[in-house]
Structure 1
């Protein structure tokens, strides 16, 4: 049975057979039997335990991420590739899929070479060629098992499990018999001249990479969401206990020099040495078998998604289990090539880098999914926090760079190159990933952040509603809107249908599809919106007032002057564009009427030796036109266009006025050529702008709906011009406002006034309290005087003066408190937080 798409299928394997067994057998493999003793001997027990702890920390953190993401979706075939691609998207998925497939295929050779080394030592043979021949023979045997399918390979794993358990028991018994606590303490630290920490880490790290073998078999599991976290955590927990305990037994039973110089030290410690040999053979073959099952399934899943056309033939499966035989054959070829390259330790470093990349991306993908905070992120695995995944991703990156900085950078560069390639050539997304949810989360956070900051003239940018019901006109308007956006605005393409009832629903659905098609064909960044209303003018009025979200609101309406009128019997289109101008203006939106006759096509010549005329009247409309002209020059094709500012509101032409115009442009920070035009009439107008590539014309709307440029009707001017944008500004446009101006400055001034009023009240209270204390003390002294005391009269006068001063101070307090209450109320009315109620 073949599969052309990466569907979520139901397999036949359970947690123990499909996840725990292949994972634990791969983890407890060649590194355990042939390299762990060397790591302990070269590093000392203390550093060896740190190496084991750091390596397993990565596997534990990644297991948490795996448990979260695998219980949040139905997991299809492809394991890590499937989870990453369905979270980060097709580009990251395709890049990591290639890396994972190569890593797994190279791992097959890695384990087969280990098998060759072990069997060569057991048989007493010598020579690198002998190792390669034995590895090649084992590779051929495993290839036949993988070709047949997963069922036979799974049964083979149970036999391996028995030998593995017997080998470990034999080692533990032998090690406990030789236990020496003094030797254990002595072996805590290795001597000088040993290998560096990160070289030994790179050598050991492939030992923990097997915990994702069960993930690679995800397509063959009965219940991936349950089996993957349970089986993976169980395998990781068991392997941690084994590696730590074996390292301690090594250090307590054998000197470091012996461990560092003899890869077969485990056999010497074990009670039955032949069981270690059997364990080595079983472990290496089972690990290679697990990789032989995982790698082809990753490639098949990648090919089924049709990301790389060259890989499409590998999507085909055979038999009831959909066995990916073509992918098995390619994995076999890569493994054969790697085997005959030789050198186990060199391959170990390469494999480590590949797997670190995949684990780092798996952690990041889970963090990315959780950070989007989409309501659909509801993993059944409850013991998860997104910070765990972030820490896991950072540790993977740090370890990559620490092992080999240049190789790590090169690996990241290769991944990035594949990502960029897929970003350019990949077609439409074939599945839903988390990127859209993440962007929506950013939209929410940024809108809330923008809402907390007061609007300022410096923040103004064009939020355009582009209205047209004609396809060709809409295309032209989208071309123009993409220019005036200036890489900072937002365009929404709008269709207004005059319809109601059930017919309106049908027409709206058809119009939405048609509008989406037009936007796609133009490769525009515009959004689309279709509005149905019985009266087009009413619909636009409501749209202009309500369109937007939070601080992002429509501020400009773009219409086509040449919009064809609908027939009177056509209920869908509005009959006159003038119906829409007044409602838009009354709703507070600026108006741009676009009259295009011959706008140059988008090619590299656009903007070279081009001219933009802005007819300047020194008002808000003029400032809006100048700003739009500047935004057009931000486009790559118009960056060399020259802007001419044609001042037509002046009654004289002299150096002082020209200097004033130049100074104004300097304040606006816009490069333009000022020119004074006196006595504007049709002849003067055409002489200046008839050959101009784009003309911005300020117009006003009269009571009879006539558009006028001063005293000249726009209808008379347009036929003699190439391309015209007629503009009417309703909003206040400021091009030279300072940061201190505007709402923020006003509130700051009010805040300062409030604080000053509070200080005045406090100062008045202090004066009143001091006056009251002085009067009270004086009265006490006066009461002690005799009636016939000659100073009594003087004291009485002073007492009255002090009482009067105290009363004036109290009146001052009341007056300042009233002012404070007034300022506090103004602050509250303006939305400024007031800490305390004014007295």
Structure 2
């Protein structure tokens, strides 16, 4: 075993400055600052450069907000971006981003070292053409490998030296720029030149400068207090780098003309007070960026390997010493870096690497928004400036920048990530941790249930919500499979097992029964949910469960169970009576009943039948049960096992002509939009049913309650008929389903009609009120005219005129009285219409009461 260093014995001990601020700031203040910032100012003008810097750093700030929220909500361990994303969006996203981030950072080591080699080769430190930049780059990788091998603490000591050199270079630049400041040059550089490059091209050139602010996250496993250090160190790095870039742009704009800035990438040397310090700064910047990637890449790989998402990577989970230094991952990262340097051509690789970093920032923002959107009580970040809308804006900004920089490369990077995601989705084992997806699903369930509860119920919305009762583990698989077929991918099934006894003594039995139930569900119908109930009275428990099961508009509407065990003939008559009585009581609560009768050999034949040779027989019943059976038969054809099944509707001959009966059934099938063959059977006898359905794979039979017994459509004992048929599902519908319902029909239409009636009655009441007011004015005018005629000069009192005015006054009074009575009637009708509308709203808001009401009287068909 290798000897452990001093830091290995101490364990994770890096603070904010050494563990987060230093690697982040050294990666941000990189080669773009020294060799491209002046070019951006010269080509885009100072105003354009400031906008580019501001927009690029906006993404940094938004992502830093997201990072701070997640870092203060959970204990961040090794792996950085990978750890945060995988623990939020799940192992598929985490594994995909983890592998591409490791490769991106490993290639970045070579990328920065090649930049270092070119910078060294361009100086006078070495004879011209005596050393290839690749050899210098390889030597740099070997040099940095030593620090990465020794551990994070040794690497950060080297970074302190690099930071000192970088600071000296920047001081030299700002002092030289202050001494060379020229206001006229500054004014001339304010706007972009006429022949300058476009805004987005310059943005694409500059943006890699800000893609280093999450380097501290990669060191999370070596931090003493990640929850405090990550937010503080990241924001400090982003803030300081913003000041440096804005200040450098101002210095460039006031020191050199636009032509000089665009013609010379090394313009910073011309501005600096001590030019050779800039060369040292370029070398330091490339080495610091390479060192940061050398520290981050192995820790991402180690965390990814520890999660055992990719089995081939498992050996890289091993670390050295108490600090768990990922030396095996360091070796692999160095190997990739050497291989990349040997290949030499990074023109195709570098853009994809940058896209991977952008994807990681975008996913980090989206993961934070996803977590906050789930509204889980466990999401309690202590970072008080967080807002989920900022995270969503950060995710969209990253996507927009990717497409603006290079749509093709952006789509290529997303395609690679998506391919890895799909691979993991199909091959990865269950995650070893809890992520936020379940909280997100539960929040969506809550929102959708609340929304569904506000909408009126309609026949078109009906879905099978099944309660499947099963206490016999041997017959349970058949029931589970049937439930999955009847759902047709649209409903839900809860499998219920009842245990009788005192709850204090039944805890162990309940756990055992639930474990067995889960195993059966996992094998035969993974879409079902288990439920084990303990009760001293199973009949009371079932009735209570049926009324209480579900939430909001999502209520059980169908009971599914096995027929009495045909192998047990002891007390069969009594058991049949009790069985029918219990079902009858449940039926009265408004729930459809479906009973499966299937002997093991017959069921095995059903399972072995090829989908194309399957046949479903529906014995027609011209009522709600017929519609329900027909719908069940159609839903079965949605499943893969019955997709090509032939559906037949079998009907007994009636007294009406066969053509009329045929036309009626054809119309029912057309309205229901279900393709089925119609077959008529002459005799209503058990033998006729057996003969007609002998070739069927599965049979649907209607039943009704005859007293407390289950009665089939023909006379005779039910057991005798069922034994001669293929597997059979007996159905009785408590509530009708209109298979041909139009959107304009149903409860929504009734509510709309009630609203229209209310509006019409209120309009008539208002119009009558206006007419009554006019009649009152007419009476008042007639009184005034008559009064004037009676009190005027005697010579003007014409008896005939007075008589006419009196008659006019009386007519106005009669009309007013009639209108007053009419207005009272209109107000009363408007009030009645309002009460009816409110009653309709109240009725629609209580779907459970409505279902029970509609079930009344449905016992006999």
TM-score (norm 1): 0.94
Q: For residues 114-146 of structure 1, give each alpha carbon's deviation from its aligned partner in whole angstroms, at most 9, with x where no partner exists.
A: 211221122265569711111110011001111
How far does residue 581 in structure 1 lie from its aligned partner after superposition?
1.9
Query: Which of 783, 787, 803 is residue 787 of structure 2 equivalent to?
Result: 783
2:356 and 2:13 map into 1 onto residues whose CA distance is 30
Conserved 8 A contact 1:602-1:637: no
User: How far, CA to CA, are the matches of 1:738 and 1:447 in structure 2?
Assistant: 23
Deviation at 1:274, TM superposition (A): 2.0
Equivalent residue number for residue 730 of structure 1: 734
Q: Which secondary structure does the structure 1 equivalent of 2:640 belong to?
A: coil
Q: CA RMSD in A?
A: 2.4
Cα drift, residue 577 of structure 1: 5.1
8 A Cα contact 1:699 1:710, kept in partner: no
Check whether the contact 1:205–1:352 (CA below 8 A) recurs between aligned residues.
no
1:152 to 146, 151, 154: 154
Runs of 4+ more than 4 Å apart: 124-129, 192-196, 343-348, 562-568, 573-580, 600-605
Q: From the superposition, tell whether residues 562 and 158 of structure 1 become closer, same or farther in structure 2 (CA, over 3 Å).
A: same
Partner of 1:436: 438
Cross-structure match for 1:266? 268
Cα distance in 1 for residues equivalent to 2:96 and 2:230:
23
C-alpha deviation, 1:224, in angstroms: 0.6
Q: Is the 8 A contact 1:172 1:270 kept in 2?
A: yes
Tell me, in whole angstroms, the C-alpha distance in 2 between the residues paired with 1:28 and 1:601.
Answer: 73
List aligned pairs for 1:375-390, cutoff 5 A: 375-390=377-392
- Say if 1:99 and 1:661 are closer, same or farther in 2 by CA, change over 3 A: same
1:260 shift after superposition: 2.5
**CA–CA separation in structure 1 for the residues paired with 2:504 and 2:568:** 22
Q: Compared with structure 1, are the counterparts of its residues 175 and 345 closer, same or farther at alpha carbon in structure 2 (3 Å cutoff)?
A: farther
Q: What's 2:5 paired with?
A: none
SS of match in other structure, 1:807: helix
Partner of 2:308: 306
- Counterpart residue number, 2:64: 63
* Structure 1 segment 108-257 matched on structure 2, within 5 A: 108-123=109-124, 126=128, 130-257=132-259
* 1:300-379 pair list within 5 angstroms: 300-342=302-344, 348-379=350-381
8 Å CA contact 2:636–2:642 kept in 1: the answer is yes
In the TM superposition, what whole-angstrom CA distance separates every residue of 1:242-266 from its partner, at most 9, and x where no partner exists?
0111122112112233222323221
Give the alignment partner of residue 721 of structure 2, picking from 703, 711, 717.
717
Deviation at 1:202, TM superposition (A): 2.9
Distance 1:749 1:413, change over 3 A: same
Deviation at 1:808, TM superposition (A): 1.3
d(CA) in 2 for partners of 1:517, 1:332: 47
Relative to 1, partners in 2 of residues 1:351 and 1:206: Cα closer, same or farther, differing over 3 Å? farther
Query: Quick one: which of 798, 817, 823 aligns to 2:808?
Result: 798
Report how far residue 704 of structure 1 moved: 4.6
Q: Which residue of 2 aligns with 1:825?
A: 835
Q: Is the 8 A contact 1:565 1:574 kept in 2?
A: no
Q: Are positions 1:627 and 2:637 aligned together?
A: no
Give the CA deviation at 1:174.
Answer: 0.5
Query: Does residue 1:616 correspond to 2:620, yes or no?
Result: yes
SS at match of 2:381: coil
Is the partner of 1:492 in helix, strand or coil?
Answer: strand
Question: CA–CA distance in 2 between the matches of 1:688 and 1:10?
Answer: 80
Counterpart-to-counterpart distance in 1, 2:11 and 2:604: 57
* Residues 376-415 of structure 1 aligned to structure 2 (within 5 Å): 376-415=378-417
Cα distance in 1 between the residues matched to 2:315 and 2:693: 62
Partner of 1:836 in structure 2?
Answer: none
**Counterpart mapping for 1:373-522 below 5 A:** 373-522=375-524
Alignment TM-score, normalising by the size of structure 2: 0.92
Q: Deviations over 1:657-704 (max 9, x none)?
A: 212211121111111111222222122111101221110001123335
Q: Which residue of 2 aligns with 1:90?
A: 91
3-state SS of paired residue (2:322): coil
Deviation, structure 1 residue 236 = 0.1
Show the counterpart of 1:28: 29
Change over 3 Å in CA distance of 1:575–1:63 after alignment to 2? farther
Cα separation, partners in 2 of 1:149 and 1:792, compared to 1, 3 Å:
same
Question: Structure 1, residues 375-420: CA drift from partner, whole Å, max 9, x if none?
Answer: 1111000101111111111111111111111111111111111111
d(CA) in 2 for partners of 1:53 and 1:462?
Answer: 55
Report which stretch shifted further, 523-532 or 138-147: 523-532
The question of whether the paired residues in 1 share the 8 Å contact of 2:85 and 2:367 is answered with yes
Compared CA separation, residues 457 and 523, structure 1 to 2 (3 A) = closer
388-397 or 24-33: bigger deviation: 24-33
1:687 and 2:691 are equivalent in the alignment: yes
Deviation at 1:827, TM superposition (A): 2.5
Structure 1 residues 189 and 767: CA distance shift in structure 2, 3 A = closer
